């Protein structure tokens, strides 16, 4: 059940022909339209519960948080392709087929985040003019590659995944340089360890009034 002070619902949208469902955590009903945080989820399964706990906490503090499973992760897993993608991202396999899978994963992921922000801009509970992306590990690397070319974002808080050499060729560090001079936090640690410091960074960037 959502904790006191927040509610959740499903945010559905289409992205390159795929039907995508995100979990949208919102402040309690009756609040003014909230700034939004996009939280791409991918990588280790043990990250997923702490990510949801962070999303709930930030919603209680005044943000609308869209938690989005990236392609072939979470509820979008494929019995065959998810393991193949994991091996390709980590560099355990390298072939023309695996390179195409990585490129398609990234193209779909970037499109998903852009379409999610489009959908959030139509949600009456959300003020998408105050938007940020937060990511951990693989979600952080994808977030970095997205934010450099997304002018609607005000801020980003990311940790890049050094265990994904296949994405290094797409130059996430160069994407982060394009994001400048907008506020950027390079964070470390687990979602629960970093949640408070990330919120302290996001609150002024998104103009969120402190809550008692």
pLDDT in tens, the chain (212 residues): 444 478 999 999 999 999 999 999 999 887 789 999 999 998 777 778 889 999 999 999 999 999 999 999 988 999 889 999 999 998 888 788 889 999 999 999 999 999 999 999 999 999 999 999 999 999 999 999 999 999 999 999 999 866 688 999 899 999 999 999 999 999 987 888 899 999 999 999 999 877 65
CATH at 22? 3.40.50.1820
Structure tokens, 141: 């690397």
Cβ pair 149, 176 in contact under 8 A? no
Per-residue confidence (pLDDT) for residue 1, from 0 to 100:
41
For the chain, how many structural domains are there in total?
A: 1
Phi-psi region at 171: left, alpha or beta (left = phi > 0; alpha = psi -120 to 50): left
Give the Å distances, CA to CA, from 167 to 34, 106, 119.
33, 8, 27
Flag whether 211 is in a domain. no
Flag whether 95 is in a domain. yes
CA dihedral 79, 41, 186, 99 (to 10 degrees): 30
Give residue 63's domain range: 6-205
Cβ pair 84, 95 in contact under 8 A? no
Flag whether 1 is in a domain. no
CA angle 27, 72, 39 (to 5 degrees): 25
- The pTM of this model reads 0.92
Flag whether 212 is in a domain. no
Flag whether 210 is in a domain. no
Read off φ and ψ for residue 74, nearest 5 degrees. Answer: 60, -130
């Amino acid at each position: 059940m959502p904790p006191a002070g927040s509610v959740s619902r499903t945010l559905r949208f289409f992205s390159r022909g795929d039907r995508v469902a995100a979990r949208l955590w919102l402040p309690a009903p009756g609040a003014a339209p909230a700034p939004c945080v996009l939280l791409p989820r991918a990588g280790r399964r043990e990250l997923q519960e702490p990510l949801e706990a962070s999303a709930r906490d930030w919603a209680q503090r005044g943000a609308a948080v869209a938690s989005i499973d990236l392609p072939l992760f979470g509820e979008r897993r494929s019995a065959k392709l998810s393991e193949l993608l994991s091996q390709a991202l980590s560099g355990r396999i390298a072939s023309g087929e695996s390179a195409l899978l990585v490129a398609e994963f990234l193209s779909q992921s970037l499109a998903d985040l852009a379409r999610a922000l489009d959908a959030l801009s139509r949600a009456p509970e959300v003020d998408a003019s105050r938007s940020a992306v937060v990511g951990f590990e693989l979600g952080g690397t994808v977030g970095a590659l997205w934010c450099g070319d997304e002018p609607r974002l005000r801020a980003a808080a990311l940790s890049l995944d050094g265990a994904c050499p296949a994405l290094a060729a797409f130059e996430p560090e160069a994407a982060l340089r394009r994001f400048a001079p907008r506020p950027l936090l390079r964070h470390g640690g687990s979602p629960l360890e970093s949640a408070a410091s990330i919120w302290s960074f996001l609150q002024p960037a998104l103009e969120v009034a402190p809550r008692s």
